[in-house]
C-alpha cells in the first residue's frame, strides 16, 4: 500500500500543462523522451583520449550547435590515416547527440544503409549524422544532397581525401595534423610505461620514438604497446628499424611511415599470433595489449583500417605470384582468377566472394582449410571447416541439407529470404552468433530450443 501511495504522488506530464490540451503533442513529447533514453549509447573513444578535448572544441565552434540555423550544416574532417579522425568524430557524437531528434554514427559507410536511413527514417527530423571513413564520390552521391532535413541538422564527414570534402560541399572543413609534442609524449608514455612520465633511463629513447611517430596517435599507441616492458637493447633495435629521416616531406611518405611502424609491431608477433586461426580469450587479450585490436562499447572487436591494409599487403608479399597460395582472398579480380583456374590451395583460409556468378564446387576443391567465407547471391558449394559463414541476400527459404554447418561459429544471413533454419537437419553444434538483420521471414525460428543453442542472438531488423 505504501508503494501505491508513493506512486500516486509521483508527478508526471499533464495534458494541459505540458501540451496545452493537445494529445498528439503530448504523445510526441513522451515518445521523444523515451527514445532519447533508449538510444543513449555512448561510443567508446579510447582508454587514454589525449588531446581530444582541444580538437573537439575547435570543431564544435565551427558547427555552432547552439545557434539558430536555417537548413542543415555539413562539416568535413580530413587527414591521413591514423591521425585520429574517427576518435574525434565519436567525441563529437557523444558531446552533442542529445540535442537532436535522431542520431547516427555510420562506420565504413554503406550506400544501401545510407539510402535506407534517408528515405525511411529521417524525413523532417533534426538529425545528427556522422559518416566515418568516406572514400569515394559514389558514397556521397547516394547520401547527398539532403532535401528534407529539419533546420539545425548536422552532418559530419570524415575522410582521408580532401577532395571528398569538396565534393560534399561542406560548409566548414577541419584538417587534422596530429598531436602536438607534449600530447604525443603523454600518449606514448601511457602505452609504453603505463604512466604519464617515462622511466628515467628510457627518457632519451622515448623521445626518439615519439619523434619518429610524428604526432600520429595510432603509431604512438601501437609502437608504445610494442615497447612496453622491454629492455633498452630491444628499444634500440626498434629505433634503428624506424627511419627518422624524410618522413615529413610528403603525405605519401608520412602515410608510409605509419605503415612501417605498424609493421614493426606485427613482426614482433609469433607465428601463432599472426595466423590466429582459432581465436581464444588469451589471443584476444594479447592483441589488445599490443593495440592491434580494440573492443567497442558492445564488446565487438575492431581493427583500424590501416592495420587491415597492412595485413593485406603482407598477404600479397608472401605470395606475390601465386594468388592461389594466399591465406586470404578479398579482391574480386583475384578471387575470380583463382576460381576460374581452380588453383586454390590448402593455404587459403578466407574468401570474400561478392559476385552473382555461379561457381562449381570443383573451384573450391583445393581449399581444404577454408575457415572464413563471405557470400552474396546464389551459390552451390560449401567447405566443411568454416567457422564464419556470411551469406547476404540468400534467395533460398532454408539452407540446403548438403551444407556442413557443424563447425560454424558465426552465421550471418542478413537481408535473406530465409524463413526456417530447422529444415535440412542442420546441427549448429558450435554456433555462437546468429545475425538476421532485415530477415522478414524468419519468425518461425523463434523457439526456445533454438535460443538455448546461441550465446548471442542479433535480430536487428527482424523484430
Three cell numbers at 364? 573450391
Q: Which pTM value belongs to this model? A: 0.57
| Burial readout 39-62 (b: 16 or more C-beta within 10 A, e: otherwise) | eeeebbbbebbbbbeebbeebbeb
Interatomic CA distance for residues 283 and 273, integer angstroms: 7
Identify whether the C-beta of residue 438 lies closer than 8 Å to the C-beta of residue 461.
Answer: yes
The torsion angle over the Cα atoms of residues 132, 133, 136 and 139, rounded to 10 degrees, is -30
pLDDT tens across 249-290, in order?
444 455 566 666 667 666 666 555 555 544 556 666 766 666
Which uninterrupted H or E stretch holds 368?
none
**What residues contact 403, with CB distance under 8 A and at least 6 apart?**
382, 424, 426
Interatomic CA distance for residues 307 and 243, integer angstroms: 19
Task: Point out which residues pair with 172 in neighbouring strands.
Answer: 75
Interatomic CA distance for residues 326 and 343, integer angstroms: 11
Tell me what pLDDT residue 251 has. Answer: 44
Domain-by-domain residue ranges, the chain?
52-175, 181-289, 322-458
Burial category of 168 from C-beta neighbours within 10 Å (exposed 0-12, middle 13-18, buried 19 and up) = buried
Tell me what pLDDT residue 250 has. Answer: 43
The C-alpha R_g of the chain, in whole angstroms, comes to: 25
Domain with residues 322-458, CATH architecture = Alpha-Beta Horseshoe (3.80)
Identify whether the C-beta of residue 61 lies closer than 8 Å to the C-beta of residue 316.
Answer: no
Please list the ranges in the chain whose pLDDT falls under 50: 7, 10, 37-39, 120, 244-252, 277-278, 377-380, 444, 447-450, 452-463
Give backbone dihedrals phi and psi of 103, rounded to 5 degrees, phi first: -150, 140
> CA triplet 94, 50, 306: central angle to 5 degrees?
85
Residues in the chain: 463
Tell me what pLDDT residue 245 has. Answer: 43
Task: Point out which residues pair with 74 in neighbouring strands.
Answer: 155
CA distances to 193, 311, 318 from 274, in Å:
25, 10, 13
pLDDT tens across 124-153, in order?
678 888 988 888 777 777 666 555 677 888
Taking each helix axis from N to C terminus, what angle separates 217-227 and 251-267, rounded to the nearest 10 degrees?
A: 20
Instruction: Name the percent of the chain in helix, strand, coil, to the closest 5.
Output: 45, 15, 45
Three cell numbers at 424? 535440412
Identify whether the C-beta of residue 273 lies closer than 8 Å to the C-beta of residue 321.
Answer: no
CA distances to 134, 186, 249 from 245, in Å:
31, 23, 9
Interatomic CA distance for residues 227 and 445, integer angstroms: 50
CATH number of 52-175: 3.40.50.300
Three cell numbers at 408? 560454424
| Burial readout 331-362 (b: 16 or more C-beta within 10 A, e: otherwise) | eeebbbebbeeeebbebbbbbbbeeeeebeee
The full DSSP string for 419-455 is: -BSSTT----TT--EEE-TT-TTGGGG--HHHHHH-S
Identify whether the C-beta of residue 409 lies closer than 8 Å to the C-beta of residue 433.
Answer: yes
In angstroms, how far is CA 38 from the centroid of its own chain?
A: 22
Closest CA to 158 of 215, 74, 220, 256: 74
Helix (H, G, I), strand (E, B) or coil at 412: strand
Taking each helix axis from N to C terminus, what angle separates 251-267 and 203-213, rounded to the nearest 10 degrees?
A: 130
User: In this structure, are strands 350-353 and 372-376 parallel, antiparallel, or unpaired?
Assistant: parallel
Three cell numbers at 200? 628515467
Interatomic CA distance for residues 342 and 360, integer angstroms: 10
Cis status of the peptide bond prior to 64, with omega within 30 of 0: no
Amino acid at each position: 500500500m505504501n508503494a501505491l501511495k508513493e506512486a500516486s504522488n509521483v508527478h508526471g506530464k499533464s495534458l494541459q500543462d505540458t501540451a496545452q490540451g493537445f494529445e498528439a503533442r503530448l504523445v510526441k513529447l513522451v515518445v521523444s523522451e523515451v527514445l532519447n533514453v533508449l538510444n543513449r549509447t555512448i561510443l567508446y573513444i579510447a582508454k587514454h583520449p589525449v588531446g581530444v578535448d582541444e580538437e573537439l572544441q575547435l570543431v564544435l565552434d565551427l558547427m555552432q550547435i547552439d545557434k539558430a540555423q536555417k537548413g542543415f550544416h555539413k562539416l568535413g574532417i580530413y587527414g591521413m590515416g591514423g591521425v585520429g579522425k574517427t576518435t574525434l568524430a565519436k567525441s563529437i557524437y557523444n558531446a552533442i547527440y542529445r540535442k537532436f531528434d535522431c542520431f547516427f554514427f555510420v562506420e565504413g559507410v554503406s550506400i544501401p544503409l545510407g539510402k535506407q536511413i534517408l528515405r525511411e527514417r529521417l524525413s523532417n527530423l533534426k538529425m545528427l549524422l556522422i559518416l566515418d571513413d568516406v572514400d569515394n564520390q559514389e558514397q556521397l552521391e547516394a547520401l547527398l544532397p539532403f532535401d528534407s532535413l529539419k533546420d539545425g541538422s548536422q552532418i559530419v564527414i570524415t575522410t582521408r581525401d580532401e577532395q571528398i570534402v569538396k565534393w560534399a560541399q561542406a560548409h566548414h572543413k577541419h584538417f587534422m595534423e596530429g598531436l602536438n609534442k607534449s600530447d604525443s609524449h603523454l600518449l606514448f608514455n601511457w602505452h609504453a610505461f603505463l604512466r604519464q612520465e617515462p622511466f628515467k633511463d628510457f627518457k632519451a629513447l622515448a623521445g626518439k620514438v615519439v619523434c619518429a611517430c610524428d604526432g600520429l596517435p595510432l603509431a604512438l599507441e601501437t609502437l608504445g604497446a610494442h615497447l612496453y616492458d622491454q629492455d633498452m637493447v630491444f628499444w634500440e633495435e626498434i629505433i634503428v628499424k624506424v627511419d627518422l629521416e624524410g618522413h615529413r616531406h610528403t603525405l605519401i611518405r608520412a602515410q608510409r611511415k605509419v605503415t612501417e611502424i605498424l609493421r614493426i609491431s606485427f613482426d614482433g608477433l609469433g607465428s601463432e599470433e599472426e595466423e590466429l586461426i582459432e581465436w581464444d580469450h588469451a589471443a584476444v587479450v594479447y592483441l589488445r595489449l599490443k593495440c592491434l585490436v580494440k573492443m567497442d562499447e558492445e564488446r565487438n572487436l575492431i581493427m583500424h583500417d590501416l592495420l587491415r591494409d597492412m595485413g593485406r599487403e603482407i598477404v600479397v608479399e608472401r605470395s606475390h605470384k601465386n594468388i592461389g597460395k594466399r591465406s586470404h582472398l578479398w579482391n574480386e579480380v583475384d578471387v575470380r582468377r583463382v576460381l576460374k583456374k581452380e588453383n586454390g590451395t590448402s593455404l587459403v583460409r578466407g574468401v570474400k566472394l561478392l559476385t552473382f556468378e555461379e561457381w562449381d564446387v570443383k573451384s573450391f576443391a583445393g581449399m581444404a582449410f577454408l575457415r572464413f567465407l563471405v557470400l552474396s547471391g546464389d551459390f552451390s558449394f560449401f567447405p566443411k571447416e568454416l567457422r564464419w559463414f556470411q551469406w547476404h541476400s540468400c534467395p533460398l527459404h532454408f539452407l540446403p541439407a548438403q551444407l556442413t554447418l557443424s563447425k560454424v561459429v558465426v552465421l550471418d544471413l542478413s537481408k535473406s529470404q530465409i524463413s526456417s533454419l530447422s529444415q535440412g537437419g542442420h546441427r549448429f553444434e558450435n554456433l555462437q552468433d546468429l545475425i538476421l538483420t532485415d530477415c522478414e521471414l524468419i519468425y518461425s525460428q523463434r523457439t526456445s530450443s533454438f535460443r538455448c543453442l546461441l550465446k548471442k542472438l542479433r535480430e536487428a531488423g527482424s523484430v
